[in-house]
Amino acid sequence: MKIICIGRNYSEHAKELNNPVPAEPVFFMKPDTALLKDNEPFYLPDFSNDIHHEIELVVKISKAGKHISQEFAKNYYEQVTVGIDFTARDLQQQCKEKGLPWEKAKAFDGSAPVGTFITINHSEINTLPFHLEINGETKQVGNTTDMLFSVDAIIAYVSKFVTLKTGDLIFTGTPAGVGAVKIGDKLKGYLNNQLMIDFEIK
């Protein structure tokens, strides 16, 4: 399986990183070795001093497809959760300044924790609230209604370039409020006020 991530999909987050709001979706990938499941702890890597949390709605692809039209995109997923797109912000900034790819800042081991998947009604996909708490304090609040590109638009766009396969995951972008994590932090991610992921930074 592969993990596809959308960047800059909420205008308030693009602004907080001084990035322009994109005219079409920006995507990048993480390998399967980035996946963290079952509330396993995340171990802070030694190559970065600024690992940021980015809570995101995560969509699981349920059927293989290429050149999927937006109209039919809903036939390609049934389950969603929230996940964290951990980002080595210091390395990412260096890569951006040099015009280099961001892979080492985004694709490292354990950089994609995901919660328990739940089946949703497709009618709710564009109105899903989610949030992240760290040590009991709310740090990020989002709603899929604020996405620049909807889940269906993302599936249509990405599948023009990359065949989607059953089990692939799409991280759909983070709202504003990203920040650094430290050892001992306890992260809880909620979708529709339901706890989906609960893990610790070690």
Residues in contact with Zn ion by the rule CB under 5 A: 54, 85, 174
Q: Which is nearer to Zn ion, 58 or 164 (CB)?
A: 58
Place of tokens 């951990």: 86
In contact, 188 and 133? CB cutoff 8 Å: yes
CB neighbourhood size of 40 (10 A): 13
* Beta strand spans in 8-109 (E): 26-30, 35-36, 51-53, 55-61, 77-84, 87-88
Query: What's the min distance (Å) between Cβ of 54 and Zn ion?
Result: 4
Q: Which is nearer to Zn ion, 54 or 152 (CB)?
A: 54
Q: Which is nearer to Zn ion, 44 or 55 (CB)?
A: 55
Residues in the chain: 202
Sort strands 77-84 and 118-119 into parallel, antiparallel or unpaired: antiparallel
The gap from C-alpha 58 to its chain's centroid, in whole angstroms, comes to 6
**Most distant CA pair in the chain: distance in Å?**
44
Query: What's the min distance (Å) between Cβ of 171 and Zn ion?
Result: 6
Per-residue CA distances from 28 to 14, 25, 66, 102, 103 (Å): 16, 10, 17, 8, 8
Q: Which is nearer to Zn ion, 102 or 199 (CB)?
A: 102
Query: What's the min distance (Å) between Cβ of 182 and Zn ion?
Result: 19
Q: How far apart are the C-alpha atoms of 81 and 151, rounded to whole Å?
A: 13
Q: Which is nearer to Zn ion, 85 or 168 (CB)?
A: 85
Query: What's the min distance (Å) between Cβ of 121 and Zn ion?
Result: 25
- Residue whose CB is nearest to Zn ion in the complex, by number: 85
Q: Which is nearer to Zn ion, 73 or 84 (CB)?
A: 84
Query: What's the min distance (Å) between Cβ of 72 and Zn ion?
Result: 26
CB neighbourhood size of 47 (10 A): 12
Query: What's the min distance (Å) between Cβ of 132 and Zn ion?
Result: 12
